[in-house]
Structure 1
């Protein structure tokens, strides 16, 4: 009896697959050279199913048991770009300047360029004639951010996943 079942996957600390094992790197294997392993894996990891089949590709992947997915169907992504709908609800503070208004041009991305000092109250003013409407500065109301993806990988250590090319055929329960 051998130490492993045919098709068993193990993790090795070396940087090469031991004899009788192959790296789980998605490589294509000829069905004619390994029909027993093909009978276990089929084409769930790739291949044409006529002349070849693929080994699982576990490079850069976190391995999980199948839950709502069939074995061999990769899930997740290495990078993510968040949309506004995916960001948590939040508020932005209004920034201003305690100086008296002397200019209509904002000097920075400040929605409220000027405000009263020391929480003083203000008296409403009726402008006559009616004030001229103007477009707000794009720096004050423009979009922010660059919509660039960020890495979505948990801290990890790379190890060699290998699949047994020989061994006892795994019995069904």
Structure 2
């Protein structure tokens, strides 16, 4: 069982807030009815598994046509949030081509003694040009530069997650 797989049993992070300057939305010209858009946002927010997300995507395509890039980005943001929680981020900011993940604010959390966090530290040490870890305002962050899209951010988080699985095998 991989390092991050164990987190299904011990969840250190309940939710991850995402802030971004990218347009991640359902455009008015894709779904014109405001109530319907709000309902779909709520439904999307409650999805927690890839299969259900793909069903949601198929439903949108069937009803409204091909997905605009903003909606694809929004769906990748949902995937990003899932991975961010598994990695141990309570918040992610994706702005000005930078991705900053904010670790658990409770410095006494068992997370900081966990194999998951050890894996993050190893990743940072073996990728010094790719990322940097720092503490600001009593909050530990992990920053990546040159992240242009939500897809780029998702790939970075996948790398972190997959290293955790490889380290445990």
Same fold (TM over 0.5): no
Q: Higher strand share goes to which structure?
A: 2
Q: Which structure's CA Rg is the greater one?
A: 1
TM-score of the superposition, structure 2-length normalised? 0.23
Q: Higher helix share goes to which structure?
A: 2
TM-score of the superposition, structure 1-length normalised? 0.22
Q: Tell me which of the two structures has the higher relative contact order, counting C-alpha pairs closer than 8 angstroms and 6 or more residues apart.
A: 1
